[in-house]
Structure formats: structure tokens, C-alpha cells
Chain A
Amino acid sequence: MSAGASARQVPRLLFYGRLVAAQLEMSTLTALQYRLGFWTEGLLGLLWSVIGIAPLFVAVDHLGAVEGWGRWKLVVLTGCFTILSGLFTALLQPALRESMTHILKGTLDYVLLRPADGLVLCLTCAFHPWHLVEVLGGLVLVIAGLWLGEVEVTATGLLAGLATGAAGLMALYAFGVLVLCASFRALQLQALTHVMEALMDFGRWPAQVFPPALRLLFTFVIPLLVMTSYPAEALLGRLSWGTVAELAAVSATLLVLARLAWVRSVRGYTSASS
């Protein structure tokens, strides 16, 4: 029998690297399959990014100081938000929607039968490449904000910013997994992805604008501030390593919870009848 013979055992990390690359390639091939669709989606993606950032350019002259956030520092924050929002719409949102469709149609069976981690397969099963333009736009905003605000970014500040950003991204994915797990229970809960999108909008604003109770909620329960406000603060050199560690711990806890929820959901999976 050829199954064992054909399977080349490679280190798991390398295998998952190849697997994610293959999933992204499939999504890119799908995007490229229809020329008109490709260019339309591209145009809409660009338009969407510009619309998202445009109000900032209009209001930049009128931005008042928000407790330690000058005009250009707010631009840095908006950049961080745009990066995260771009990653969400390019990577996580399409994967969540596709996975929920799999649950609805019963084709999750095929995903779960592949010899790889089902959660990794679900979280990388769809991708909207054009939305990565938003990420680039966000990067430009961060750099422009830092440049025009004459902020000197230190190596430790950059490292803390990247670490906090990574923690924020982990928190976002963990949150997405919890939403996906909820849709195993009731497909109507798919609407939670829209709630998630709406909630993410709070990430546009600095932590200081929220009253203490909301700040705690958006840091420890729905960690939106971990995703945007804190990475910006870290880049500006205003975040202690202790706080960075706390935020990483919040994200790690959320990831563990999400993983447990996934394992439980898959064990209870009944598969749609044919």
C-alpha cells in the first residue's frame, strides 16, 4: 500500500509552512481565475482602503490632543488600526466565513479528514489578497506619523511594538476562533463576525478616551486595545516591558481558551447530514 511510502516525513513546522503557503496559493488562484472579478475586487479593495483612511486626512488639521496623543501620534495609531483591519479583512474574515460555510454545508468533513491540524486548515482556508493593500497603507501611515511627528523610534520601542502587535494579532485570531466555535452550536451565531467587525472600530481610538471600565473590558475581555492602541504606544516608547508581558499573557490566555473551545467543538461535531 502506497500511503506510508508516499508520505515524506518533514519537520512539522516546515510542513505547516508549506500547507499555509498552499492554502494561500489556492485562494490567490481563485482570485485570479476570473479576470473581471479580480480587477473589480482590486478596485473595491483600494477604494475601501482609501475610504477608511480619508477621514483622517480631512480631520488631521483639526485633531486636538487626546491626553498625550498629538496629531501625528494619532496618525500612528490610525496606521496600527489600518494594519490590523487589513490583516483581518485579508486573512481572518474570509477564512472564518469560508469555515462557517463548510459547517453549514457539511463540507467541514473534508477539512477535518485532512492529515493536518483542523484549526490551522480552517484559519487559512480563504484569503483576499487585495486587502493586503490596506496593510501597506497602514504601514505608510505609521511611518509618516512617526516621521512627521519627529518621534525617535528606539530599537527596544520597535521590538516592543512588534511584540505587542503580534500579541494583538494572536488575540484577534483567538477571538475569531471563539466566534467560529460558537457557530458550531448555532449557525445563526455566524452573525458574530459582523459584531466582531463593528467592535474592531473601537480600536481606532486611544485607550485614554475610554472610561476605566471600558478600558479594562477592551484590554482583558475583548482585547481591542491590545491590537491597536498599545502597539502604537509601544512604538512611541511609552509602554513598559511589564505591560508588554501582561498583554502577551492576555493573548496567550485567549489562545489557550480558543484552542480548548475548538477541541471541544470538534469532539461535539455531528456533521451535516447528506
Chain B
Amino acid sequence: MTAAMVRVEGLCKRFSVPRREAGLRAALRALVRREYRVVEAVRDLEFSLAPGERVGFLGPNGAGKTTTLKMLAGLIVPSAGQVEVAGFTPSERRPEFLRRVSLVMGQKRQLSWDLPAIDNFEFNRVVYEIDPAHYKRRLEELTALLDVGEVMRRPVRQLSLGERMKCELVAALLHGPQVLFLDEPTIGLDVSMQLGIREFIRRYNAEHGATVILTSHYMEDVAALCPRILVIDGGRLRFDGSIEALRRQIRPLRRVSVRAAALPDDPTAMGRVVLREGGRLVLDVAPERVPEVVGALVALPEAQDLAVQDAPLEEVMRALFGREEAAEIG
């Protein structure tokens, strides 16, 4: 049995944050005597990841995803619980551990703004003590994969957001990390650049076997990259499994759409009507009834554009976070 690359048990993080009522009087009072409130950003998380897994953290803003990611990376010290990454305790921040991990944040850059990325790469070679010959090979491989051969010679401030993110990835991967933490890596990028970055991450994972942990608000990123997702909400783990399993639990209905010259008078008998507009009909149908409903829709006059899809992940998440029960699912 392969040892876990990431093991988390009873992980908690509490922050003490100041609070006060509105108004000048309360602000003045807070100058002398400040009240604090304890916020539980992460509560009792438990999970483990195998080497080479690609896992997505999903959750609304303030759910505790980034805090968890930063505890795994060793940036934030947990309030309670155990974390082990690549056999190390991250918060000890031992150099041997830090050489095995890397973090890329879409909203923050590690590259020096005024210098070409190649100068930053050279700096990382010294910091990570990468053998010069190995560094050369690695740089050639990454720059070819990401197509930044010329780009890396221009000052970072002159690069587009997508080019900069590619260079950030090169900087983060030069030392060959075993665990790659990605926090919103495609934020603000156009669709083709998002696709390019996703493809690169998938390929890197396949070729080097690195464990990839991703947080993203773009559901497509997570759906395309991560066979396994961890849904975190209110600091708690609410789901751990595949996207398909999540869909089956939260929105098991299949979405069937069709365009026809005439629509049925009462389509509610087939399923829940999502849209009925002009000649277009969209229904949510129970999986076991899909063949029967498709058969009926195909028989409609001039039926075309018939499609059967899973519910979009955004809707699944909205349904999940809209639920009132706080109990763990699955």
C-alpha cells in the first residue's frame, strides 16, 4: 500500500479577530478596550491524498479552502490537529520539506516585476540549490511545454497576465516539487489561456507524478483537472469524492433539452421544466426515465438539437451550499 502524500487529522485553525459595534463611540471605546471574537476558519478536517493525485478544493468565499492550503504548505500554523505532507510536518518549515513543495497563487506574484523572468529563474536555481545541468534541462523542458522561450526574456511588467502566469508556473516547478499547491491559478485569464494552463497542469502531473491540490472559483478548472474534490464549507469537510458522485447526491436529475416545431402540451409529466421558450424545451429528468423521455422528445415534429447533460457543476454547488443542514454529506 502506498503511503499517503498528504495526511490531515483533526485539523483546526482559529483566528482571533477584533469586533466592535458601528459608530464613533464604539470606535473610540475599542481604542481602549478591544473585544475579540474567535473565528473557526477550519474545523476538524480529515483526509488523505495519495502520491500523484489531483484534488480540487471547492467551497464558497471564506469557506476555509485557502487557509487549509496554506496550512498544508506550512505558511499558517494549525491551532490543533495533525498535518503531514511528504512525510514532514509543514509548520516546521524544514528546508527538506520546502524543497518538495511549491505554491502558485493567481492573485500574487513571486516574480520580480522589473526583471525578466529568466533572472528570477536563475535566482530560484541558487535558492533551491539546483544542479546547473539539471536546471538547464528542466528549464528547457518547462519553457518548451509552456511556450515561454522568448517571453521569459522580457521584463515581467511587460507581460500579459497569461504569459506572467506561465512564467510563475516555470518558477514554481524548476525544483521539481512533489506537491504542487495551486490557489486560483487561472483567475482573470481568457478562455484559451485557461485551457492551456489546465492542459499543462494535467500533463505535468502525468509525466512527473506530482500531487496537485487546486482551489479555483472556475468550476471548469476543477471539473477538467480533478478526479477527486473536497468540498469545504464553514471550515468543515462536507464532501470527499468524485464530481460524478457529488452530482449523483446533490443533483441526480439529468438535463434534457430539445428544439422542435411543436412542444408537448404538458411536459411536467416527463420531468421538471427548467425552460420553455419559443420552440425550445429544457427539462430535469430522473436518470431512470431518461430513455423514455428522449424517445418521446425525438418523436416531436422537426425535433433537433437534442442533448442530455449532467447538471452544471455551478448548479450542483449552489444547491449544496443552499442546503440548510450542516451535516456532512456522503
A binds B: yes
Residue in A closest to B132 when the chains form the complex, CB atoms = A8
Given that A8-B131, A30-B114 are known contacts, is A110 also in contact with B108, CB under 8 Å in the complex? yes
A19→B95 CA distance, assembly (Å): 14
Let me know if A6 and B66 touch, CB within 8 A.
Answer: no
Given that A1-B178, A274-B107 are known contacts, is A113 also in contact with B77, CB under 8 Å in the complex? no
Contact with A along B200-241 (1 / 0, CB 8 A): 000000001110000000000000000000000000000000
Distance (whole angstroms) from the CB of A211 to the closest CB of chain B = 34
Let me know if B76 and A271 touch, CB within 8 A.
Answer: yes
Chain A interface size range:
35 or more
Distance (whole angstroms) from the CB of A207 to the closest CB of chain B = 39
The B-contacting residues of A in range 223-274, CB under 8 angstroms, are 267-271, 273-274
B126 at the interface (CB under 8 A from A): yes
A33→B118 CA distance, assembly (Å): 13
A52-60, A101-109, A128-136 - the one binding chain B: A101-109
Let me know if B76 and A33 touch, CB within 8 A.
Answer: no
What residues on B are CB-neighbors of A105 within 8 Å? 108
Let me know if A33 and B130 touch, CB within 8 A.
Answer: no
Contact among B70, B77, B96, B105 with A267 in the assembled complex (CB-CB below 8 Å) = B77
A18 at the interface (CB under 8 A from B): yes
B127 at the interface (CB under 8 A from A): yes
Contact among A2, A112, A115, A273 with B66 in the assembled complex (CB-CB below 8 Å) = A273
Contact with A along B287-303 (1 / 0, CB 8 A): 00000000000000000
Number of A-B contacts (CB under 8 A): 118
Contact among B73, B99, B115 with A30 in the assembled complex (CB-CB below 8 Å) = B115
Given that A8-B129, A112-B75, A273-B66 are known contacts, is A26 also in contact with B99, CB under 8 Å in the complex? no
A15 at the interface (CB under 8 A from B): yes
Contact with A along B94-117 (1 / 0, CB 8 A): 011011111101111110101100
B155 at the interface (CB under 8 A from A): yes
Let me know if B130 and A7 touch, CB within 8 A.
Answer: yes
A5 at the interface (CB under 8 A from B): yes
Residue in A closest to B187 when the chains form the complex, CB atoms = A274
Contact with B along A24-35 (1 / 0, CB 8 A): 011001100110
B47 at the interface (CB under 8 A from A): no
The A-contacting residues of B in range 27-72, CB under 8 angstroms, are 66, 70
Given that A2-B134, A6-B128, A116-B95 are known contacts, is A274 also in contact with B105, CB under 8 Å in the complex? yes
B276 at the interface (CB under 8 A from A): no
